[in-house]
Structure 1
């Protein structure tokens, strides 16, 4: 068994208080203590040199040999994936807070807390376990796994399966068929199994697995829904808008089905850390936010089906229900909420398109980030998703370059991310550049970047290219009866052309041109393209659904 991950406590005068508070973690973590920044760095180097990992640094707000933020900066160079917490003594908590809290916005550390004043300070320990849980979800090989993937190679298909499982909140590991764990699971079928093989508790093993067959094994197909007749509302898309719709619709007694083509959470579910979502002062990963919302909706009776792309919508006529079509079966619904969101725009550089999954990725691809250790990677995009991806990749990669066509990123990225990227020693921003070519022997090895100012082209050796190029609506499945703008986004309310108003009146704010079909979130023309805004629209659409369903 691998060595326990380390928690390093750093305090000159109150180490006894910290050691007492962290006594409860000693069974499962290697809790170590230091009285200075230099000593803490030496401890971290010792842990890493012996093949161990540092999960968490906990430092008092004042250190004897350096500013605490300088200490975090040095320790991060040794253990970039470790979480960092200030535990201020109660004598200094209010005094040090104004200066140190500013560092939170730039990602210099993860939490500012009051040191426990006694036993069972569960608010303090809630923050600690949150940080440890977040760390555990981002390590290369988690110790607690929900699914095991057995494969002789780690190809694009294996990576896609693992990414799906991670986004669904199911930690996984990949085992070679010769590994003792794999041999124990396979028994006498090691030689004749069809790989990749996915094993999850209380479910039959999935051989020759794909994302869809794994999703169907875990969550079923639309045809498996034990729905009698017609549901009240079918939500297409399991991102923040769709999840909010599901929670509020099901909690108010409506029968609700959510169809999601990929993993629950949508594009937001790939965000490694969302720091500006209301109510989460320490931030929350997109996956955790999505899975909490999913569990909340499940509690009220929502049915979820993942891994099935919707192929079409047949509007109901004369009071008949709408029909939502998928390859795995149809769902009849009295109301439909279109919350299918957006997809990242394609780069359309053919040599790189052929390497998607083999060093080239659309979106944050959090699972792929784990395989970028000691690699130089490039993130293309200037939005918040690109900034969050860069910060996450920097936990693993040797260097991360954010590449944008604009002269700067301030106009398109939230200020807290701009500051965090500027501060991070492993991240640089390259402006006025675009990727025009790339290649490698079976996986990405290099890209060509053209300077948009003078047309010069420079080649860079890279191990990963992450493309977050802006939004294209996932709306090809919608019929022509649903009006869309010139870019393909769904028109609602007063944005609908006057020629399609009924009796001189526009549709309701989130209603489309088809009665009983509504739109919420990023798919809607004019939406804000933020997680909180999408959640708000998802909640706001439910009263309109009620009005439609009312006798």
Structure 2
């Protein structure tokens, strides 16, 4: 149950006059920062404490009288400690009860005791309570108010859900069931068991076990159904190129829809730091850049469907493009911009399939970095994505090893990253090195490497893989022409490449970013000849909208 209420001070006394005086003095001094509750008996106070514990509300201090019928003050403080071990406990006593106070110090870990009367409170009450409350605040961590994910660290599905939530910049708290006592207590408040993990607990208290991404998307307010019957342009893919196309399309008055199958940002969205993007001299994370672009596109009127996937495209009446989604629904549009991006190639060595998502990750440095604290991790690949991941992981891991097949990083990584890596003492580059095998029982434990002919098994907490990419164009290759590697052919390549005679069969010249289907354009990394840079992808996405306008004006 979410709460934005202040921490609580609980006053307990069976004498109405004394309780009223305590309540008055406490409110006078502490009501701005604390809620003051009162109870007229130990049993009533215990019920209040149990209710606060159930509602997970913060109890800062208990001030309890010793001599009460039924449950006495010392007994109350002893039982309260079991539910709120960090709460400060103060016994209110008469001079004759100092023995009870000493017993409470030993048995109930009493923090302080006060003698009646405490007048004037400015001298005999407030200074002691202020010190105790300051000590409590120093260690108090407010309860997280948002989505919480309970799971096992080495569960591939837990990893997928973490990546999904992080991709949409949904604030969430990760609770490892095996190592976090709070996870067990939170799970006990749902209808699920540990056998059904991972479990997502939403801010409103509802929970889902092993949920599909679409179910989470609906719960957090993402749209999965198109709002219009016909669009001017549909952008397939929400990486930098797709988001740029969405911003320019929407800002120029086109009915614009973006469809994303995973999370906005593409590969750039997973980058921990982009330092060579124009206008950001101190750099920014891929997630931050993505979030800004996404907000900008939706503010200007673009729609976003996610997570949703296109599985087929066909032409209707020689003009309209009909996109069929995996849920069977169809979307009609006058023009399409394909910004499907690329995906990381899989490393094919023994053990990979079994441990994927359980210590072996493809471009997932941000969501798993904290689990690598003070451990050795390995990165395979020498491009900018690998370098950015290495720099980010180095702030958590004991040591980061970058494995590359060649002699150095110079041919594949930007100079600024190479310099940063060289100045980071807990990053080591291992040239002429490849992964030969991965091992582990339920999760990655060892990486077997071949270093220039010498085979060695090394202990490893995590292995991050960045070994090149392939275009995500499988679904569209039946409709448009791609090169042998699957990249989309556009513009002059359709008429100048002798390998594809008759690729363009129309009277006019194709526009610069147009595919073999008039009105279907491609931008970003999935296009033949793309530069694989964020800035160039953004440029191509915005250029594509210029050509969409020209096509629609024909």
TM-score normalised to the size of structure 1?
0.69
Confirm or deny that 1:281 pairs with 2:292: no
Pairwise mapping of residues 75-474 of structure 1 onto structure 2 (< 5 A)? 146-151=146-151, 155-175=155-175, 183=185, 187=189, 189=191, 194-201=196-203, 205-220=207-222, 222=224, 224-227=225-228, 229-327=229-327, 329-451=329-451, 453=452, 455-474=453-472
Contact kept? 1:163, 1:365, Cα under 8 Å: no
Partner residue in 2 for 1:522? 525
What RMSD over aligned residues (CA atoms) do the two structures have, in Å?
Answer: 2.6
Corresponding residue for residue 549 of structure 1 = 552
Residues 314 and 479 of structure 2 are in contact (CA less than 8 Å); yes or no, is this contact kept in structure 1? no
Select which of 502, 507, 510 maps to 1:507: 510
Q: 2:535 aligns with which of 532, 545, 549?
A: 532
**1:324 and 1:332 in contact (8 A); partners too:** no
Contact 1:272-1:392 within 8 A present in 2 as well = yes
| Aligned partner (choices 489, 492, 511) of residue 491 of structure 1 | 489
Q: Greater CA deviation, 328-337 or 250-259?
A: 328-337
Deviations 1:201-250 (A, max 9, x none): 4695333224343234334464x2222x2111111111000000000001
Hey, what's the Cα distance between the residues in 2 that align with 1:420 and 1:498? 48
Q: Deviations over 1:234-290 (max 9, x none)?
A: 111110000000000011111111111111111100000000101111100000000
**Contact 2:320–2:332, Cα closer than 8 Å, also in 1:** no
CA distance in 1, matches of 2:188, 2:298: 33
Q: Tell me: CA distance 1:253–1:274, structure 2 relative to 1, closer, same or farther (3 Å).
A: same
- Matched residues in 2 for 1:181 and 1:362: separation? 27
Bigger shift: 355-364 or 236-245? 355-364
Secondary structure (helix, strand or coil) at the match of 1:337 reads strand
Change in 2 beyond 3 A, CA 1:549/1:349: same
Instruction: Pick closer, same or farther for the CA change 1:513–1:374 going to 2, 3 Å.
Output: same
Aligned to 1:119: none
Structure showing greater radius of gyration is 2
Q: Once the 2 structures are TM-superposed, how far is the Cα of residue 428 of structure 1 from its aligned partner? A: 0.8
Q: What SS does the aligned partner of 2:392 have? A: helix
2:163–2:364 contact (8 Å) kept in structure 1: no
Report the Cα distance in structure 1 between the residues aligned to 2:283 and 2:196, rounded to whole angstroms: 41
Distance 1:189 1:375 in 2: 36
The number of equivalent residue pairs is 408
C-alpha contact (below 8 Å) 1:473/1:488 kept by paired residues = yes
Give the Cα separation in 1 of the matches to 2:257 and 2:507: 33
Gaps of 5+ in 2: 1-32, 34-140, 495-499
3-state SS, counterpart of residue 259 of structure 2: strand
**Which whole-Å CA distance do the structure 1 matches of 2:379 and 2:190 have between them?**
44
Give the SS at the match of 2:474.
coil
- The answer to whether the Cα contact below 8 Å between 2:154 and 2:359 also exists between their aligned partners in 1 is no
- 1:305 is displaced (CA, Å) by 1.8
Deviation at 1:300, TM superposition (A): 1.0
Question: More displaced, 327-336 or 186-195?
Answer: 186-195
In structure 1, list runs of 5 or more residues that go unmatched. 1-26, 28-140
Q: How far off is 1:179 after superposition?
A: 5.2
Distance 1:217 1:154 in 2: 25
The answer to whether the 8 Å contact 1:268/1:286 transfers is: yes
CA contact (8 A) 1:219 1:304 kept: no
Q: Distance in 2 between matches of 1:142 and 1:415?
A: 43
1:278 match: secondary structure: coil
- Aligned with 1:523: secondary structure? coil
Distance 1:329 1:192, change over 3 A: farther
Structure-2 separation of matches of 1:525 and 1:273: 26
- Whether the aligned pair in 1 keeps the contact of 2:321 and 2:336 (CA below 8 Å) is no
> Measured at CA, do residues 466 and 180 of structure 1 come closer, stay the same or move farther in structure 2, by a change above 3 Å?
closer
Instruction: Flag the 1:342–1:425 CA change in 2: closer, same or farther, 3 A.
Output: same
Note the C-alpha offset of 1:169: 1.2
User: For 1:492 and 1:218, how far apart are their aligned partners in 2?
Assistant: 38
Relative to structure 1, the CA distance from residue 142 to residue 387 in structure 2 (aligned partners, 3 Å threshold; closer, same or farther) is farther
1:148-185 C-alpha deviation (Å, 9 max, x unpaired): 11346662211221121112112211236795687568
Change (3 A) 1:536 1:495: same
